[in-house]
Amino acid sequence: MFMDSKKINSNELLNSIKVVLVGTTHPGNIGATARAMKNMGIVNMALVEPKEFPSDIATYRSKAAKDVLENAEVFDTLKMAISDCELVIGTSARERKVPWPILNPKDASQEVSRGSLNNKVAVVFGREDRGLTNEELGLCNLHVHIPTDPEYSSLNLSQAVQIMVYEIRSAILENEGNDGNWDVEFADNDQTERLISHMDELMQEVDFYEIDNPRKLLLRVRRFFKRSRLDVMEVNIFRGLFAAIQKKLK
């Protein structure tokens, strides 16, 4: 659980990053994304419910990045695609109703390059026509908006990916050789999700809220835990406390 202090190694870090495309409609965008990724040395691609994949159009548009497509993993849900990731970054072309920590590509990339030793990072992109759902954005630790002209804020999917992977690569190269900055492994998405469910279970057991009318409570709890980016030790402390309270209640 404890990590040795470790120097940041660019190749290791680039390999720990995966680009996740959710519900992509046009296979050409998948191919162009593969190319954009490989140009920046990021080769792990995950696809959630792509409309058409594998596809000749995707292969054609990927040019010399066919291997990225061949190795791409396909998932039924975003939750499954990111279950092993300790830092999940969601991208969004517009502001959403529930404010989440929102960074520009440069600052988010600094997070990636500093905080991800021994960890997996996912950068998540949405559907061409309607982006990511609020529920999908709620699975993320932080959100990134690429500062576009507000009159026309929506970039082509693969171009949004290109900007993100370029910034991530730049930040990683800049931090090469620096010390990592955390002593305990970060919790992965699955561990944090189980903690959030456990807290919900406990809140229901003590009638903390009306089941039919939780209003924004669950979302706020979720945001708190996601924003905190908990490590494994912290998750264990909360889970242990919740379990102890449940035991006393029985």
3-state secondary structure of 19: strand
Answer positive or negative: Cα dihedral of 64, 67, 68, 72: positive
Binding letters toward ligand SAH, positions 156-195, x by CB under 6 A: -x--x-----------------------------------
CB of 241 to ligand SAH, least distance (A): 36
Judged by CB, which is closer to ligand SAH: 132, or 199? Answer: 132
Judged by CB, which is closer to ligand SAH: 23, or 180? Answer: 23
Tell me the C-alpha distance between 31 and 29, whole Å: 5
Q: Which one among 51, 66, 79, 145 touches ligand SAH, defined by CB under 6 A? A: 145
Residue 216 to residues 131, 155, 222, Cα–Cα distance (Å): 22, 30, 10
CB of 93 to ligand SAH, least distance (A): 4
Size of site (CB under 6 A) for ligand SAH: 20
Asked if residue 153 binds ligand SAH (CB under 6 A), the reply is: yes
Tell me which residue has tokens 């999700």.
193
Asked if residue 65 binds ligand SAH (CB under 6 A), the reply is: no
Residues that bind ligand SAH (CB under 6 A): 91-94, 125-126, 128-132, 144-146, 148, 153-155, 157, 160
